[in-house]
Amino acid sequence: MKSQAEVTENMRAILIDWLIEVHLKFKLRCETLFITVNLIDRYASAQNIAKAELQLVGVAAMLIAAKYEEIYPPILKDYVHICNKSFSGPQILAMEQKILFAVDFDVKSHSPLRFLERLGKHAALTEEAFFFA
């Protein structure tokens, strides 16, 4: 995030907190959230993000991750609604395209989720314990 001109680490943290709430509201898989954050970070390392587009990048990254990971991902209209109509469907789809080109369509990444799943199974933790511990 240090290479970003307008976006700070604190702004990224606020975005991730909001995306966790969206993730829980849509009842998405944990892997979807991990892929979303990974896509945001990889896009931010490749492109400068304007402050006004930060939420758009987050929503588009979650749309990509949900399409990749979920059996029944939320539809585009749901993402427009969750942003309080700050962004239109075509804007979200255009950002989705920019993100995919920036990461060379490599959506899947290694995440700590598998380790956390094994640890949680061993410690008999619930899914909520991973987020609120």
> Which pLDDT score, from 0 to 100, does residue 123 have?
75
pTM value surpassing 0.85: no
| Structural domain of 67 | 9-132
Can you count the helices (H) and strands (E) in the chain? 7, 0
Asked if the structure places residue 30 within a domain, the reply is yes
Asked if the structure places residue 48 within a domain, the reply is yes
Asked if the structure places residue 89 within a domain, the reply is yes
On whether the CB atoms of residues 105 and 92 are closer than 8 A, the answer is no
Asked if the structure places residue 114 within a domain, the reply is yes
109: left (phi over 0), alpha (psi -120 to 50) or beta: beta
Percent of the chain with pLDDT over 70: 87
Question: Measured between alpha carbons, how far is residue 38 from residues 76, 81, 86, 88, 108 in Å?
Answer: 21, 23, 23, 24, 9
> Which pLDDT score, from 0 to 100, does residue 113 have?
67
CATH number, domain at 102?
1.10.472.10
Asked if the structure places residue 29 within a domain, the reply is yes
Asked if the structure places residue 90 within a domain, the reply is yes
Model confidence band, residue 52 (pLDDT cutoffs 50, 70, 90): very high
Asked if the structure places residue 2 within a domain, the reply is no
- The mean pLDDT value of the chain amounts to 88
Domain count, the chain: 1
Rounded distance between C-alpha atoms, residue 15 and residue 23, angstroms? 12
Asked if the structure places residue 3 within a domain, the reply is no
